[in-house]
């Protein structure tokens, strides 16, 4: 494989790929994201390939990155028609290959059915989950084989790099990124172009760029999916950034729990190096840049930039006070520019299409698109990209398909354990940095957890507090001991031992921890508690003052009881109770001993007569 | 020289000075715990927080020990917000050290009168890291470090294996601020860490290779003399002290 001598060689390669035999052959793309793989998409792909070979079909079967609609996986899409097949099994291979090759019919169960209207929607782009999105960064995720550089180049890959290197000065690149309004997608929302400019202006020859891929929020997998599905776009963004800043060395800090993303990223680096898109004298322009992968061991705090740098340096992953900021004195004391995966991945699009194109999306202060992983009590679990400024209602109901089992929406935790919850009365709030901050939440990195009427908001806050408490590095006192004090208070409240002063104590702890902690972990850790206190104070009062859990979740505050008028004495609950808390005999009304019962809820889920109730 | 405002007073500080140094040079008291003038700033105890503002940006709390003096900075060292933060932080420190009279004295001086949250084991180590940093930055041997994270964090030799790097200098003990850690803690079974005071002759549980008698020695000189008398190789403090 020869290195590309100049930008013209890249374009010649692209033209050759477009003229290649079979480039427009019918294709089946199989989602190869971690979620669909868990559902068996690798076996689906093997079956499709075998069937295609058996028929001698003129068909390409390709494993791609995450398509996004994880709820319906494994997903297969036929191109160019974009017919979408959901929950595909290996035994569906014959139907799918026939559909792709001759446009043959497929069973209804493989098609998406709109739960509201009951209508079958065969074409991917008509499915509401996709129709209301604006997929820019994720646009190629379902189309590319992430292990083939050819695919990325054929789709326009590295054209933005060539454009930047051949026709723009570093200052031009920075001016374009500034004009695009791109803000850091790791959560803090600092203007990306301003950060680059500050780093560029620092004295010294040695500068570094880092891609922060230490995604760790519970339920968040945006960064993982981008790196799994389109690793070259992240590298292209880093290359453009390094050119603008004046860096020759970059690092991707990625957690070891993301093996597929690590594999794809490493493959992409090797391919780009082989083609002269990374390394010395890139595209013959004299610009040189290398990227190294550094694996994190899963400490949440290492997503904090100073802790991340300490970890790369081989020291304990603990934050240090800022200033100096990384752009002034970062990795090994050198000016260092850190951006999140999503920020880097947006850069090639901005350079290729122009700042105005990107800035046309969003609100006056929040431009472009945001990527969310939408999880929890929601119909369409998945990966979603929407323009900033979209309302939470549209995100959850139009795209997310609403709440399962006809339950009521209660709140959405946005920004993960560092963010806050947004209750139903604020569903029409536009999702942008300022509006969410005003509600005590943050845009965050993109985790969105939906809670329904069966979710206890005190328990919900306790869960996130437990997460941050366990992930606190322990260096500073407010975060180490303060989060422990908050968690202990919440645990007492959930156990029915809350006291009248607890809410004031939680407020006092929360406000102080936010203001006085050393790093972003502690400074945001109280947010889930403070925001649930703000929007769901009545639930706290019910736990503390009335010793009841309105959502019937907190085990210390509920009892299971059998309704004598409904119990048929069928013995099912009695036989299945793991602790022997249920007494009775055949065809006699059963009863539960509350002293023995562990409130696991198994009896209720097994009872066919709705005889088990929670008080 | 840098000009900034501390407590409505125009102050001049040399380039590279921290806010804490500028405050102390100008007679403004700021409480500290994890700070030591001979060690690099750590920013862990958060007792030295002050309000800093670079107008027109709003004020925020920052650790004075680690914050460099910047031109035009407006600093408040004793505002209501600062006092509130220090009081609660001191109370949280006491959660794990409520048996320490020194910690109580520090907390009382900041207005703390009660401890609303107590950890089950009051080990009195407040994880200020002074012993570890002194061992690394002053003594230069890094025989101990902070291991694990969060509530499980503790002072230990690397990989919790006896550290032949320890020279038995006692610096870790002398710099310990909680007052619960005495020389006997390092020499005896208890060492810098939880456990009971041991018997006649015990290995240090921090460095594990120093065989000294457990009786109390007050000064570094006395310690060195004691070490010379008792401890031959492998860790001969006398040899090191003469380097």
The confidence band for B162, taking pLDDT boundaries of 50, 70 and 90, is: low
pLDDT at A221 over 70: yes
Sequence-separated (6 or more) residues with CB below 8 Å from residue A487: A462, A465, A466, A469
| Window A:58-117, CB contacts with B under 8 Å | none
* Identity of the residue in A321, A473, A482 whose CB atom sits nearest the CB atom of B41: A321
pLDDT at res. A310: 97
The confidence band for B180, taking pLDDT boundaries of 50, 70 and 90, is: low
Among B47, B45, B43, smallest CA distance to B65 is for B43
Which residues in chain A touch residue B94, judged by CB atoms under 8 angstroms apart? none
pLDDT in tens, A261-306: 999 999 999 999 999 999 999 999 999 999 999 999 999 999 999 9
Query: Contact A515/B81, CB-based, under 8 Å?
Result: yes
Q: What is the DSSP pairing of strand A447-452 with strand A409-414?
A: antiparallel
The confidence band for A328, taking pLDDT boundaries of 50, 70 and 90, is: very high
Q: What's the CATH code, domain A183-347?
A: 3.40.50.11540
CB atoms within 10 A of CB B222: 13
What average pLDDT does this structure show over A366-394? 95
The answer regarding whether domain A559-614 maps to CATH 3.40.1480.10 reads no
- Looking at the complex, report in whole angstroms how far the Cα of residue B116 sits from the nearest Cα belonging to chain A: 9
* Identity of the residue in A473, A478, A505 whose CB atom sits nearest the CB atom of B149: A473
CATH architecture of A458-544: Up-down Bundle (1.20)
Average pLDDT, chain A: 95
Query: Contact A515/B60, CB-based, under 8 Å?
Result: yes
Calpha distance A398→A128 (Å, rounded): 7
Query: Is pLDDT larger for residue B135 or for residue A337?
Result: A337
Q: What percent of chain B clears pLDDT 70, i.e. is strictly above it?
A: 70
Helices (H), A255-331: 259-274, 305-312
- What's the Rg (C-alpha) of chain B? 20
CA distances from A257 to A41, A64, A373, A464 (A): 20, 20, 18, 20
Calpha distance A402→A376 (Å, rounded): 11
What average pLDDT does this structure show over B143-155? 89
Give the domain A369-455 fold: Ubiquitin-like (UB roll) (3.10.20)
User: pTM of the predicted model, to two decimals?
Assistant: 0.91
Strand partners of residue B145: B156
pLDDT in tens, B6-63: 999 999 999 999 999 999 999 999 999 999 999 999 999 999 999 999 989 999 999 9
Helix and strand element counts for chain B (H, E) = 8, 9
Which residues in chain A touch residue B127, judged by CB atoms under 8 angstroms apart? 474-475, 480
CATH architecture of A8-131: 3-Layer(aba) Sandwich (3.40)
- Chains A–B, number of C-beta pairs less than 8 Å apart: 98
Query: Contact B89/A516, CB-based, under 8 Å?
Result: yes
Residue with tokens 């290996």: A90
Cβ atoms A331, A245 nearer than 8 A: no
Q: What is the dihedral of CA B154, B159, B163, B164, to 10 degrees?
A: -160
CA distances from A439 to A10, A419, B58 (A): 48, 10, 19
pLDDT at res. B243: 31
pLDDT at res. B39: 94
What average pLDDT does this structure show over A443-472? 95
- Residue A211, H or E segment: strand A208-213
* Identity of the residue in B63, B88, B150 whose CB atom sits nearest the CB atom of A469: B150
Helix and strand element counts for chain A (H, E) = 26, 19
Residue with tokens 């604006």: A134
List, in order of start, the domains of chain B with CATH numbers: 2-83 (3.10.20.740), 130-241 (no CATH)
Which residues in chain A touch residue B137, judged by CB atoms under 8 angstroms apart? none
Among B137, B156, B136, smallest CA distance to B147 is for B156
Q: Domain-by-domain residue ranges, chain A?
A: 8-131, 183-347, 369-455, 458-544, 559-614
Burial category of B79 from C-beta neighbours within 10 Å (exposed 0-12, middle 13-18, buried 19 and up): middle
Calpha distance A435→A77 (Å, rounded): 37
């Amino acid at each position: 494989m020869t290195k590309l001598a100049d930008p013209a060689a890249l374009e010649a390669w692209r033209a050759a790929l477009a003229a290649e035999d079979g480039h427009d052959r019918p294709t089946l793309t199989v989602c190869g994201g971690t979620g669909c793989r868990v559902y068996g998409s690798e076996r689906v792909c093997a079956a499709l390939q075998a069937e295609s070979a058996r028929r001698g079909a003129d068909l390409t079967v390709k494993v791609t990155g995450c398509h996004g609609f994880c709820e319906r996986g494994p997903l297969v899409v036929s191109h160019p028609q974009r017919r979408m097949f959901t929950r595909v099994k290996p035994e569906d291979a014959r139907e799918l290959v026939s559909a792709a090759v001759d446009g043959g019919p497929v069973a209804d169960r493989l098609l998406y059915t709109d739960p509201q209207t009951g209508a079958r929607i065969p074409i991917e782009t008509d499915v509401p989950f996709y129709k209301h999105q604006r997929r820019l960064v994720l646009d190629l995720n379902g189309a590319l084989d992430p292990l083939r550089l050819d695919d990325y180049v054929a789709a326009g890959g590295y054209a933005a790099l060539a454009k930047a290197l051949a026709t723009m000065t570093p200052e031009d690149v920075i001016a374009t990124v500034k004009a695009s309004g791109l803000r850091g997608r790791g959560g803090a929302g600092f203007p990306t172009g301003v950060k680059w400019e500050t780093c560029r202006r620092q004295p010294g020859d040695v500068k570094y760029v880092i891609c922060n891929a230490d995604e760790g929020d519970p339920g968040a997998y945006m960064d993982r999916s981008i790196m799994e599905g389109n690793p070259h776009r992240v590298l292209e963004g880093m290359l453009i950034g390094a050119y603008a800043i004046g860096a020759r060395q970059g690092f991707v800090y990625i957690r070891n729990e993301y093996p597929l993303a690590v594999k794809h990223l490493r493959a992409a680096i090797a391919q780009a190096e082989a083609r002269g898109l990374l390394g010395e004298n890139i595209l013959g322009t004299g610009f040189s840049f290398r990227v190294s992968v550094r694996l994190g061991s899963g400490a949440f705090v290492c997503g904090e930039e100073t802790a991340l740098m300490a970890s790369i340096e081989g020291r304990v992953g603990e934050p240090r006070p800022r200033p100096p900021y990384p752009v002034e004195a970062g990795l090994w004391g050198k000016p260092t520019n850190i951006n999140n995966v999503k920020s880097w991945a947006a850069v090639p699009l901005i350079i290729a299409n122009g700042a105005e194109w990107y800035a046309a999306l969003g609100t006056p202060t929040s431009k472009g698109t945001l990527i969310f992983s939408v999880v929890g009590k929601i119909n369409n679990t998945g990966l979603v990209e929407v323009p900033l400024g979209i309302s939470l209602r549209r995100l959850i109901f139009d795209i997310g398909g609403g709440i399962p089992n006809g339950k009521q929406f209660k709140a959405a935790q946005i920004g993960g354990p560092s963010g806050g919850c947004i209750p139903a009365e604020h569903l029409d709030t536009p999702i942008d940095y300022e509006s969410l901050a005003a509600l005590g939440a943050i845009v965050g990195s993109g985790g969105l957890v939906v809670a329904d009427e069966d979710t206890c908001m005190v328990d919900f806050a306790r869960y996130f507090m437990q997460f941050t408490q366990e992930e606190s590095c322990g260096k500073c006192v407010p975060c180490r001991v303060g989060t422990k004090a908050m968690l202990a208070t919440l645990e007492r409240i959930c156990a029915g031992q809350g006291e009248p002063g607890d809410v004031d104590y939680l407020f006092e702890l929360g406000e102080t921890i936010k203001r006085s902690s050393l790093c972003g972990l502690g400074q945001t850790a109280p947010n889930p508690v403070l925001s649930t206190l703000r929007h769901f104070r009545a639930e706290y009062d019910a736990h503390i003052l009335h010793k009841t859990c309105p959502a019937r979740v907190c085990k210390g505050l509920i009892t299971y009881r059998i309704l004598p008028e409904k119990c048929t004495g069928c013995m099912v609950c009695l036989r299945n109770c793991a602790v022997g808390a249920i007494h009775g005999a055949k065809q006699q009304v059963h009863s539960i001993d509350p002293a023995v019962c562990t409130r696991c809820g198994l009896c209720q889920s097994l009872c066919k007569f709705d005889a088990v109730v929670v008080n | 020289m840098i000009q900034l405002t501390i407590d409505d007073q125009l102050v001049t500080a040399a380039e590279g000075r921290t806010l804490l140094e500028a405050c102390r040079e100008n007679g403004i008291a700021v409480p500290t715990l994890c700070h030591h003038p001979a060690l690099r700033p750590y920013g862990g105890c958060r007792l030295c927080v002050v309000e800093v503002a670079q107008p027109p940006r709003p004020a925020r709390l920052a650790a004075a020990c680690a914050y460099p003096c910047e031109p035009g900075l407006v600093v408040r060292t004793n505002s209501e917000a600062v006092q509130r933060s220090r009081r609660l932080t001191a109370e949280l420190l006491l959660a794990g050290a409520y048996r320490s009279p020194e910690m109580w004295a520090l907390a009382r001086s900041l207005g703390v009168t009660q401890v609303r949250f107590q950890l089950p084991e009051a080990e009195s180590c407040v994880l200020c890291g002074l012993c570890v940093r002194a061992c690394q930055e002053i003594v230069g041997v890094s025989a101990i470090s902070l291991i694990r994270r969060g509530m499980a964090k503790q002072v230990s030799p690397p990989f919790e294996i006896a550290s032949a790097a320890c020279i038995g200098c006692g610096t870790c003990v002398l710099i310990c601020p909680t007052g619960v850690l005495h020389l006997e803690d390092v020499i005896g079974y208890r060492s810098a860490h939880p456990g009971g005071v041991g018997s006649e002759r015990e290995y240090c549980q921090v460095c594990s290779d120093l065989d000294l008698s457990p009786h109390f020695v007050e000064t570094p000189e006395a310690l060195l003399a004691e070490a010379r008398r008792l401890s031959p190789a492998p860790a001969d403090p006398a040899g090191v002290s003469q380097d």
